[in-house]
Amino acid sequence: MPSSPVPPPTPAEGGGVAVTVDVTEVTASLRFDPATRSATQRSAVRFTAGGDGGRPALDLRQYVESIHLDGHDLGAEAWPVTDLGGGPGAGMRVLEAVVEPASTHLLELEGPLDTPHAEGAVPIGWRNRGVRFDLWMSDLRPGRYLESWLPAPLPHDRFALTVRLEIAGTDRPHVVLTNGAVRQEGEGMWRVEFPPTFTSLSPMLVVAPVDEVEQRSTTVEVAGRPAPLRVRTSKMAEVDADLAACEEDVVGWVTHNAARYGPWAHGDAMTVVVWGPGRGMEYDGATTASVGALEHEVFHSWFGRGVKPAHASDGWIDEAFTSWATSTRRSEGPRFAAEELGLDDEPVVLCPPSPWSRHTPIESYTVGSRLFAGVAARIGGADRLRSAMAAYYRANAGGFVDTDGLAEHLRVWSGVGVGDLWSRYVHGRA
């Protein structure tokens, strides 16, 4: 089992202690007005305090005009961004109110919806009488999961999410592409429900004018499933890609991964949206990616979203192993490399030590992939490492994994320790 992903109570600027809370439900309404090129959000978070009372720590990278806790107006300044030691850009919003242990609460927020206050975030894409909107998450910079747009907890917390969408004042038809369940509630209005097994890094949501999207759908038999899996593949109209070829590739990768590593863990569909160069992000059973990143992102439905990082700091695992296994993004070595790795290279921190850390170091793709090549050489070759990771996936599918738990699994499975490699190339110890 992973070590507890919950950060301990932490002294907060302004007094008191910041504490994480157990979020059970987030509901939100997003309204887009193409005529004025403006958008708004209203959201509500139901949560329960843990065993330690204190000031609840969540995050939202949007300006907030109204904050209510259990119906009481706290004022727009009552949820300041606070540095809790997670590193640059990783501050959390810590509520200026103290909650008692095991108490339940409702936090309600309102404000404009605009470009998130997070490095690398992109603006809403306003079109002629329409809008393109994409959650466009990233694990490389803090604040780029769901909290870019809606209030959200750290990525260890599971919660139900419901998003109501409205595109007002236009007769241009739009489409919603998502790994949630969509129901149209009127002209330009949708309700999207995501399951309570999701976390802040799980939901994919893309909205675009219908005439700007090409769509395909097929089904495929995959190992471990009693019924065929539906593969839904779309692309933006301006993207220079053969959508039928992309669909064929996705079907092949899904079929192979399920047979090699273990059963699909994401319901009845794989949802893919193909974008132009530079795009690539994984979600639970879904991806938004360029053609060049597509294999990498599909693989993440096994490692990264089939088994999820228990802490944000554990995100290096899925990027490193996926880069080693697919070699379609930033890794420098060949796919399935097995090369001896000594202890004379520079130490590297792939797993930041702070429990409030909220990013995956970019070195995970390169140094991390090289680390797995070294592990493969140590335990007997690439096929043995793939088998070890298949056992790891099957034991943890649908759950959380952590850095030291993986090292222990590899030791037990192979009979060979990797602690020295972990010490130098994961924890950065000289």
CA distance 243 to 319: 26
Run of H or E including 297: helix 294-299
pLDDT digits (tens, 9 = 90+) for 237-280: 999 999 999 999 999 999 999 999 999 999 999 999 999 988 89
pTM of the predicted model, to two decimals?
Answer: 0.95
pLDDT at position 430 is 86
Q: In 3-state terms, what secondary structure has residue 48?
A: strand
Task: State pLDDT tens for residues 355-404.
Answer: 999 999 999 999 999 999 999 999 999 999 999 999 999 999 999 999 99
> Which residue type does 110 have?
E
- Please give the pLDDT value at position 334: 81
Q: Evaluate if residue 333 carries a pLDDT over 80.
A: no
Q: Residue 20 — left, alpha, or beta (φ > 0 → left; ψ -120 to 50 → alpha)? A: beta
pLDDT tens digit sequence for 36-60: 999 999 999 999 999 889 999 999 9
User: What pLDDT, on a 0 to 100 scale, did the predictor assign at position 196?
Assistant: 97
What DSSP line would sit under 375-403, residue for residue? HHHHHT-HHHHHHHHHHHHHHHTTSEE-H
Residue 51: its pLDDT value, please?
87
DSSP, res 121:
-
pLDDT in tens, 112-148: 999 999 999 999 999 999 999 999 999 999 999 999 9
Average pLDDT for 68-83: 96
Whether residue 285 is predicted with pLDDT greater than 70 in this model: the reply is: yes
d(CA 361, CA 403): 14
User: Which residues 6+ apart lie within 8 Å of 387 measured at CB?
Assistant: none
User: Chain-wide mean pLDDT for the chain?
Assistant: 95
What is d(CA 80, CA 67) in angstroms, rounded to the nearest whole number?
11
Minimal CA–CA distance to 375: which of 328, 331, 422? 422
Closest among 400, 305, 311, 304 to 351, alpha carbons compared:
311
pLDDT at 156 (0 to 100): 94
Q: Using CA atoms, how far apart are residues 57 and 419, in angstroms rounded to an integer?
A: 34
Three-state SS for 147-158 is HHCCCECCCCCC
